[in-house]
């Protein structure tokens, strides 16, 4: 079987196959990845049928399943949009499931998790098609930094999700419980099972007391599984998805703007972003993102156009590491940008200072030849500190006050106090003398003068004595 200049060859008598590059693919040289195995292509040309053939989980039949079947079938436009969106990713997921000998209905799980939207973010901050929480993503080696979020990466997140599901199945020995743990957490499911064991109750999925979301979780998947298995029974129409790869992996060796990469591949920018949703910035840093996904027929187009750009400028953005704590306006001036531009491209909120070591995206000078290093591309982050607005305040000096004591009281330096009051750094103040200090706006009333502090201390002491007397009376 050949598609887009690529032919598949059956290996031995089994289903496992690999694909061999034709001359057209060899033109991609070592930059195009063609090592991935392709399985079961000869069985059917319809990917939906291939999924049906791999169903291996026990069916769940319950009122909640029927409820979800009715919900989905009452929304044919929603089902069509979800399934249409899935065509970019579904073949790869089925491939990975078959390679691991896992049930192929798990390829439908992103319908439940995110409606196959790799940019989906939940209210709990779970992200991507497979909806990984930040901590779980890190556990499964999904990089998350200012430049990329692998929880949204098609290849990385699928690998991590299937790793996690395999782990959960190994823990519980039951796919329904594994799915419940994927949604609710392995610890929660484990505790629910232990509780039922103590009460001598059943420990299956439908026996456990779970949150409503988890109660509906497997029924949702079962409902979608049933609709895919028998769309005609539910009045549903699935868009035709061919049983061959949608995308190709291509390596990049130079930093390149996202818009430039899409242009060289001759694909719409939105389509490029849909295949490369992990990118957080308008530039791809080769040291941190060494490969991109392109529509199957666009890989060789990209490489041919890239060859024509040899030596030309591909990236108009680079990374600048803040050398110290900086006001945003000062950082923008050093980077040759307006403050508004720096804030927008780096998502800098108002009222913040940029902390040292922050990696900021800035325009790349025309003469710059060196790309961003892997140390910066892999660990890039932006850290902020609250920007305190200074307010001028007049305070009365107490007996024995000096520049040093005033500075200590208001958490500033003696040189500042001396400068504000035009006196020497070792000067003393007369009792009652007005002294100028500058304090942060939110601390303007936090530092009482000596007299007020003494009065408040006296009030607190008196209150404690009164409270103690009252307590004794009540006890008597």
Q: Which residues are catalytically annotated? A: 113
3-state DSSP helix/strand/coil % of the chain, to nearest 5: 45, 15, 40
Helix (H/G/I), strand (E/B), else coil: 242: strand
**Cα pseudo-dihedral 255, 259, 261, 266, rounded to 10:** -170
> Distance from first CA to last CA of the chain, Å, rounded?
96
Q: What are the structure tokens assigned to 426, written together? A: 């070792």
Angstrom distance (rounded) from CA 364 to CA 40: 47
Distances in whole angstroms, Cα of residue 417 to Cα of each of 390, 426, 435, 439: 13, 10, 9, 11
Q: Where would I find the beta strands (DSSP E) of 141-196?
A: none
Helix (H/G/I), strand (E/B), else coil: 457: helix
Closest CA to 105 of 61, 50, 54, 46: 54
Contacts of 194 (CB under 8 A, 6+ apart): none
Angstrom distance (rounded) from CA 272 to CA 260: 11
Angstrom distance (rounded) from CA 31 to CA 48: 31
Please tell me what DSSP assigns to residue 49.
H
Angstrom distance (rounded) from CA 208 to CA 201: 9
Angstrom distance (rounded) from CA 135 to CA 156: 15
Contacts of 366 (CB under 8 A, 6+ apart): 313
Q: Are 320 and 186 in contact (CB under 8 A)?
A: no
Closest CA to 148 of 276, 267, 248: 276
Supply the DSSP string of 73-105, one letter for each residue: HT-HHHHHHHHHHHTTTHHHHHHHHHHTT--GG
Q: Are 162 and 96 in contact (CB under 8 A)?
A: yes
Closest CA to 227 of 30, 74, 103: 74
């Amino acid at each position: 079987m050949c598609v887009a200049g690529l032919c598949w060859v059956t290996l031995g008598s089994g289903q496992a196959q690999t694909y061999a590059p034709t001359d057209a693919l060899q033109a991609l040289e070592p930059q195009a990845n063609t090592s991935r195995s392709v399985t079961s292509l000869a069985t059917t040309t319809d990917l939906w049928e291939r999924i049906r053939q791999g169903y291996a989980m026990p069916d769940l039949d319950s009122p909640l399943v029927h409820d979800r079947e009715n919900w989905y079938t009452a929304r044919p436009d929603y089902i069509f949009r979800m399934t249409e969106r899935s065509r970019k990713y579904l073949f790869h997921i089925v491939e990975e499931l078959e390679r691991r000998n896992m049930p192929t209905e798990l390829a439908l799980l992103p319908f439940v998790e995110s409606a196959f939207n790799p940019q989906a973010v939940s209210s709990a901050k779970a992200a991507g098609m497979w909806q990984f929480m930040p901590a779980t993503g890190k556990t499964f080696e999904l990089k998350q930094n200012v430049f990329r979020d692998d929880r949204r990466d098609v290849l990385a997140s699928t690998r991590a999700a299937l790793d996690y599901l395999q782990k959960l199945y190994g823990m519980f020995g039951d796919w329904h419980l594994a799915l419940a743990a994927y949604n609710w957490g392995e610890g929660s499911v484990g505790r629910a099972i232990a509780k039922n064991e103590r009460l001598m109750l059943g420990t299956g999925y439908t026996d456990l007391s779970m949150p409503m979301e988890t109660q509906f979780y497997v029924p949702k998947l079962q409902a979608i599984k049933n609709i895919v298995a028998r769309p005609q029974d539910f009045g549903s129409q699935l868009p035709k998805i061919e049983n061959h790869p949608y995308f190709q992996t291509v390596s990049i060796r130079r930093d390149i703007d996202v818009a430039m990469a899409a242009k060289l591949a001759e694909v719409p920018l939105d389509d490029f972003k849909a295949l490369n949703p992990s990118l957080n910035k308008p530039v791809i840093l080769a040291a941190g993102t060494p490969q991109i996904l392109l529509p199957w027929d666009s890989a060789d187009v990209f490489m041919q156009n890239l060859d024509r750009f040899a030596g030309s400028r591909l990236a108009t953005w680079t990374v600048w590491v803040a050398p110290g704590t900086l006001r945003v306006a000062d950082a923008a001036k050093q980077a040759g940008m307006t403050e508004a531009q720096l804030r927008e491209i780096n998502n800098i909120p108002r009222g913040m200072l940029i902390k040292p070591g922050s990696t900021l995206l800035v325009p790349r000078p025309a003469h710059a030849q060196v790309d961003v290093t892997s140390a910066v591309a892999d660990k890039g982050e932006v850290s902020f500190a609250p920007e305190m607005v200074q307010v001028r305040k007049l305070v009365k000096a107490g007996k024995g006050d000096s520049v040093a004591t005033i500075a200590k009281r208001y958490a500033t330096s003696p040189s500042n106090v001396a400068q504000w009051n035009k006196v020497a750094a070792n000067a003393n103040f007369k009792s009652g003398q007005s002294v100028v200090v500058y304090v942060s706006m939110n601390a303007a009333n936090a530092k009482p003068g000596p007299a007020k502090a003494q009065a408040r201390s006296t009030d607190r002491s008196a209150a404690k004595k009164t409270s103690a007397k009252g307590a004794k009376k009540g006890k008597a």
